Amino acid sequence: MMSWHPDPNALRGRVAVVAGATRGAGRGIAAALGEAGATVICTGRSSRTRALRSDYDRPETIEETAELVSSLGGKGVAIAVDHLEQIQVQSLAQQLRADYGHIDVLVNDVWGAERLKGGPAEWNQPIWQLDLERGLRILQLGVTTHLITAHQLLPLLIERPGGLLVEVTDGTAEYNASHYRLSAFYDLAKASVNRLAFALGHELGPHQASAVAITPGWLRSEMMLDAYGVTESNWRSAAAPPGFAVSESPRFVGRAVAALAADPRRARHNQRSLSSAQLAAEYGFTDIDGSRPDVWRYQAAVDSGAPGVSPDDFR
């Protein structure tokens, strides 16, 4: 394991919005931005107010995420928003403009379709055998939300030079271009977010702002841990496929975003599609256990048929 500690002032004074901050990668990203001292607006539908209805019946809330941000040294602010509702996102933009005047970082992590994609028994089925409404809902939650959020919030990002948009997805553009991802709907959703970062980076460049797509590896989200009946403290005991040994906590991809946001030369990554492991190799940060897991490189080694591939060699 490696010795690394976050710089508590790396993003002091910066204003970040994490759309979809309730749980999983969104919560991990908000937490890591808090570690670096940022003010983090945490949005999502799962609020203690219960004013909005989430696709998930789970206990996590955006208020919990905001409190975690503050406990780690940042300033967490929770705002309940349904990112499929244009008026709500427009209202968020107006509130942010009134309160801060601009934003420095926008993380588009809205998803909410984990259950809609189904389990392994439902994967690799042709589109005509899938439920069309569920499939279209996947695209609404995973793509339309990102478009609405970008449309309403990017004007705040270009108020000052150096703004950063992070589009969070599953799989790099390179990986997704040559691998079928579960179903036509899921495949399209995740590939679309990579392409969206490319397109928006083209549009942001003239405004001295950047867009990057980032993917975690095998993420130990709250839902993933529950699925295997383990917790973050005993996850290694899970009865899971070998690749789970190269999984990462949500904080790892969060630290990838924080490192990128703190890099004064981040514009060189504009329009790129990157993994948390790639950014860890560049910036030197670690996961919360001091490791640097790289499940994408592990999977490539497995797919190549290389003998003696061990998960331990990839974290």
Asked whether residue 119 is domain-assigned, the answer is yes
Asked whether residue 62 is domain-assigned, the answer is yes
SS3 27: helix
Asked whether residue 242 is domain-assigned, the answer is no
Q: Structural domain tally of the chain? A: 1
Q: 277 vs 109, 212, 291, CA distance in Å?
A: 18, 15, 10
Backbone angles phi, psi at 112, to 5 degrees: 80, 5
Asked whether residue 101 is domain-assigned, the answer is yes
Backbone angles phi, psi at 69, to 5 degrees: -55, -45
How many degrees, rounded to 5, is the angle at CA 165 between CA 252 and CA 83?
95
Asked whether residue 19 is domain-assigned, the answer is yes
Q: Which domain holds residue 141?
A: 15-219+252-290
pTM of this prediction exceeds 0.85: yes
User: At a CB cut-off of 8 Å and minimum separation 6, what does 70 contact?
Assistant: 34, 76
Asked whether residue 311 is domain-assigned, the answer is no
pLDDT tens digit at each of 315 positions of the chain: 678 999 999 999 999 999 999 999 999 999 999 999 999 999 999 999 988 889 998 999 999 999 999 999 999 999 999 999 999 999 999 999 999 999 999 999 999 999 998 888 889 999 999 999 999 999 999 999 999 999 999 999 999 999 999 999 999 999 999 999 999 999 999 999 999 999 999 999 999 999 999 999 999 999 999 999 999 999 999 999 999 999 999 999 999 999 999 999 999 999 999 999 999 999 999 999 999 999 999 988 988 888 888 998 898
| CATH number, residue 112 | 3.40.50.720
Asked whether residue 140 is domain-assigned, the answer is yes
Asked whether residue 315 is domain-assigned, the answer is no
